[in-house]
Amino acid sequence: MSETKQQEATTDIVSETEATVVLPSTDAPAVPEAETKTPDATSERGPRGRRGQAGNDRRNQRRPRRGGRPERARPEFEQKIISIRRVTRVVTGGRRFSFSVAMVIGDKKGKVGVGIGKAGDTQQAIEKAVRDAKKHMITVVMNKEGHLPHDVQIKYASSEVMIIPAPGRGLVAGSSVRTVLEHAGVKDVTAKIFSRSKNKLNNARAAIEALKLLKKK
């Protein structure tokens, strides 16, 4: 009797558990495959799609230039620095530095000038020197071939310069006198500095004063 009671009790428990089991309903919508897939690193919509490989490809693409580089306008005068110095001024608060630039400008067609500029910045000093040289520009008396009519000699400050026409010899000169003659467009001359002064600014100004003495025959 006891065994039959135990079998009946176990069958009742199994029937109760089967009754409580809930099967999934078939009416639920199916999940699309696109949402179940994990995002790919190389896809455009992935976490690195816009900022990753696709973004780098867009950044590396160079835009074509339109029309190329514009040509730079040629300056009216050619210029060359003959001396540049750093000047120190002692004041109560300490030392203050500035730059002094001496420059020669010319068009190599008879116009030449020497100027000097001082400023705290090198570029500003150069601009001042160019403006000063344009203000003190002279026109050299010479023929179409660039030959001088006669020889000249002058003493300026501690510099003494002599310029002599020498057809067929070319331009024979030294120091800043050569720079002045080149920018003036003078050819076939011989220049001599008699003084021992090595001040390039004074030598250049002496050459300018000598060229002022030229007269037409």
26's tokens:
């078939």
Summarize pLDDT for 70-89 with one digit per residue, the tens: 666 677 889 999 999 999 99
Task: Give pTM, 2 decimals.
Answer: 0.64
Q: What is the pLDDT of residue 144?
A: 87
Q: What is the pLDDT of residue 75?
A: 76
Question: What domains are defined for the chain?
Answer: 78-138 (3.30.160.20), 140-212 (3.30.230.10)
Q: What is the pLDDT of residue 14?
A: 46
Nearest-angstrom CA–CA distance, 180 and 203 = 10
Q: Which of 137, 130, 78 shows the shortest CA–CA distance to 111?
A: 137
Pairing, β 171-172 against β 189-193: parallel
Summarize pLDDT for 9-64 with one digit per residue, the tens: 555 544 444 444 445 555 555 555 545 455 554 444 544 545 555 555 556 666 66
Q: What is the pLDDT of residue 27?
A: 54
Q: Report helix, strand or coil for 147.
A: coil
Q: Is the pLDDT of residue 5 over 80?
A: no
Q: Is the pLDDT of residue 131 over 60?
A: yes
Nearest-angstrom CA–CA distance, 79 and 197 = 23
Range name among 57-66, 76-85, 152-161, 196-205 with the lowest pLDDT average: 57-66
Burial (0-12, 13-18, 19+ Cβ within 10 Å), 170: exposed
% pLDDT > 90, the chain:
55
Q: Where are the beta strands (DSSP E) in 59-182?
A: 78-91, 94-106, 111-119, 138-139, 152-156, 159-165, 171-172
DSSP code at position 33 = H
**Which residues fall within 8 angstroms of residue 78, CB to CB, at 6 or more apart?**
105, 106, 107, 108, 183
